[in-house]
Amino acid sequence: MKTNKPKALYVHVPFCDVICAYCDFTRVVTHPKLIEDYLYALAQEVKLYPDIDFETIYLGGGTPSALNSDQLTTLFEILKDYSHQVKEYTMEVNPESLSKEKAELMVKYGVNRVSFGVQSFNQDELVFMHRAHTIDMIRNGIKILRDAGINNISIDLIYALPNQTLDKWEYNLNQALTLNIDHISLYALTIEENAEFGRLKIKPIESELEEQMYFTAIEFLKKHGFNRYEISNFTQSKPSMHNLHYWNYDDYIGLGPGAVSLYQHKRIENTKNLLYYSQFKFHGNIIDLSIEDEMFEFVMMGLRVKNGLSINRFKERFNQDIEVVFKSAITKGISHKWLILENGYLKCTDDGYGLLHEILVEFMN
Ligand code: SF4
């Protein structure tokens, strides 16, 4: 199997000012000493991967913008040597923790894309989720980013909230358009056992309504020039280069607690324990991936993308022909009109896109 150079760097910043009621990510409430220890450990972890020219960097979390300007400067300095060739440098930002000073700092260190944690334009929904921002902060934040020179902005929106009506969801979609941004990521709320909603035994909405919200969004966004290029991601012209590396099954490095790497035929899962991490015990699990694992994962990730997966890239990576390896799954998918082979790509049809889980079961067999 070919060994691939990682192209994408993900850095997990596990700090938030407030913990949202639905969240079970790896995160803790901001604390100066914890942040200091984390940054010190991160500076050591990054040295495990010297001399890699990444095409993309993504600072996620947690909430990277919850770091103050001094802490952010330290973070950017740690990553500086890795950012020279970077084409896309994304940072997740929450409206309540953005300032002019931070936006200018981001630009100074090369951040050229922001994933902005909007989630909703209904203040009652924001309060219900324990989000810390207001609608004014959303609009003000977009202005701060643009004034600093960041125009490549994506926003996150959450749907399928308990008590959310279709009308309220449509209102959110309409308001999103008024920001004149280029990229929107949609997330259906899941009630996680370990999050506050789970502990409070909040009931999810009916699956039919959730589906209706999803398809309403697809139609609405399409009408307004947003192309669905991945199951939950829509853009007018700027797909996320970083996420495309994941979906293309390129190797990537993940740093920070809870981050995951795909590196030299291994999945490296970092510890989620911030204390262990700060003691430089970075890695939790290291899993050797068999060629069968990798071939399946290549398909699983590639079919999420509307343009599908490249037959040639599969051949280059595994030295095998996808139409031979997965003959039965592909034949069945094509006969059901769930899959098509077109111009060197295997992709889902519109009908198949909604049945991805069922399609992948065939590839597993
Ligand atoms: S959803 Fe995001 S901002 Fe909210 S607690 Fe989780 S990581 Fe932090």
Summarize pLDDT for 296-330 with one digit per residue, the tens: 999 999 999 999 999 999 999 999 999 999 999 99
Q: Specify the amino acid at residue 133.
A: H
CA-nearest residue for atom 1, ligand 1, is 23
Rounded to the nearest angstrom, the distance between the alpha carbon of 296 and the centre of ligand 1 is 31
Percent of the chain past pLDDT 90, that is, above it, reads 95
Looking at residue 2, its pLDDT comes to: 63
The 3-state DSSP class for residue 360 equals helix
Rounded to the nearest angstrom, the distance between the alpha carbon of 131 and the centre of ligand 1 is 8
Beta strands in the chain (DSSP E): 8-13, 15-16, 28-29, 56-61, 88-93, 113-119, 152-159, 183-188, 227-230, 233-235, 252-255, 260-263, 266-270, 283-288, 309-310, 339-342, 345-348
Rounded to the nearest angstrom, the distance between the alpha carbon of 195 and the centre of ligand 1 is 11
Q: Where are the domains of the chain?
A: 8-246, 305-365
Report the atom number in ligand 1 closest to the C-alpha of 61: 7
Q: Which CATH class is domain 8-246?
A: alpha beta
CA-nearest residue for atom 5, ligand 1, is 19
CA-nearest residue for atom 7, ligand 1, is 62
* Residue 80's pLDDT band (cuts 50, 70, 90): very high
66-72, long-range: CB < 8 A, 24+ apart = 66/13, 66/15, 66/16, 66/17, 66/30, 66/94, 66/97, 67/13, 67/15, 67/30, 67/35, 69/99, 69/101, 69/102, 69/105, 71/35, 71/36, 71/39, 72/102, 72/105, 72/106
Rounded to the nearest angstrom, the distance between the alpha carbon of 272 and the centre of ligand 1 is 15
> Residue 341, Cβ neighbours under 10 Å: how many?
15
CA-nearest residue for atom 6, ligand 1, is 23
pLDDT tens digits, residue range 41-67?
Answer: 999 999 999 889 899 999 999 999 999
Mean pLDDT, rounded, of the chain: 96
Indicate whether this model's pTM tops 0.85.
yes
* Residue 243's pLDDT band (cuts 50, 70, 90): very high
Give me the residue label for tokens 């990510």.
Answer: 25
* Burial (CB count <10 Å: 0-12, 13-18, 19+), residue 155: buried
**Best of 12, 17, 25, 31 to mutate for ligand 1, by most ligand atoms within 8 A of CB?**
25
> Residue 238, Cβ neighbours under 10 Å: how many?
15
pLDDT tens digits, residue range 82-134?
Answer: 998 899 999 999 999 999 999 999 999 999 999 999 999 999 999 999 999 99
On whether the CB atoms of residues 333 and 346 are closer than 8 A, the answer is: no
- Does the pLDDT at position 3 exceed 70? no
Report the atom number in ligand 1 closest to the C-alpha of 23: 6
